[in-house]
Amino acid sequence: MTTWIFNPFTYIAGFKSLVIGWMIILITACIAYYSHTHFDGAIDAHVFAGNEMYPAWHYVAEPFIDWSSLVLVFFITGRIFSVSTVRFIDIAGTFALARGPFVLLALVDFLAPQTKDLFHISPQLLFFVFISLGGAIWVIALIYNAFKVSANIKGQRSVWLFIISLILAEVVSKIILHYTLH
């Protein structure tokens, strides 16, 4: 069961996981439109409390740009550092499926309380924070395992390459989002 939650890529990868992952991304985008959740970075999820409405396609484009940035950076890392043959479809598929917990985060954002300062911490805010933190950890664990399975890189090397690649992907996604959507 733990494997299915944190490393489903042991069983599902390639085209199958790409299709499931894309469907999840689209569902997430639909929910995010109504809960005003923006995925404005490779692993970012922010809820905007303002009344400003962005066009619907923004909510679809954001997660796809995030996913593309991750796939691009981690595919290059895998091809350079792995002794195995890294297939693009495996990186693309597993990284799409790894975005699954963002559905939960987009849903939880409906409960996001309006908080102006940290002196007004309500039980609702604490619940929101814990669920969001748990979701973020889950996404990072899934992305790490997606990288490990797709690129066959193990040990300490995989941890360092993962951290550096994740930061690079975050920077790449921010740049693309800045010049395309914002």
Residues that bind another protein (CB under 8 A): 9-14, 17, 83-85, 87, 90, 94, 149-150, 152
Nearest distance in Å: CB 149, another protein: 5
Q: Which residue has the tokens 């890392």?
A: 77
| Contacts of residue 82, Cβ cutoff 8 Å, sequence gap at least 6 | 151, 152, 153
Nearest distance in Å: CB 95, another protein: 12
- Whichever of 8 and 135 has its CB closer to another protein, that residue is 8
Beta strands in the chain (DSSP E): 37-38, 46-47
Nearest distance in Å: CB 82, another protein: 9
- Whichever of 83 and 118 has its CB closer to another protein, that residue is 83
DSSP class of residue 38?
Answer: E
Measured over the CA atoms of residue 89, residue 94, residue 99 and residue 104, the dihedral's sign is positive
- Whichever of 12 and 140 has its CB closer to another protein, that residue is 12
Distance (Å, whole) CA 25 – CA 84: 29
Nearest distance in Å: CB 68, another protein: 20
Nearest distance in Å: CB 151, another protein: 8
Distance (Å, whole) CA 146 – CA 150: 6
- Whichever of 11 and 160 has its CB closer to another protein, that residue is 11
- Whichever of 132 and 152 has its CB closer to another protein, that residue is 152
Residues forming beta bridges with residue 38, ordered by sequence position: 46
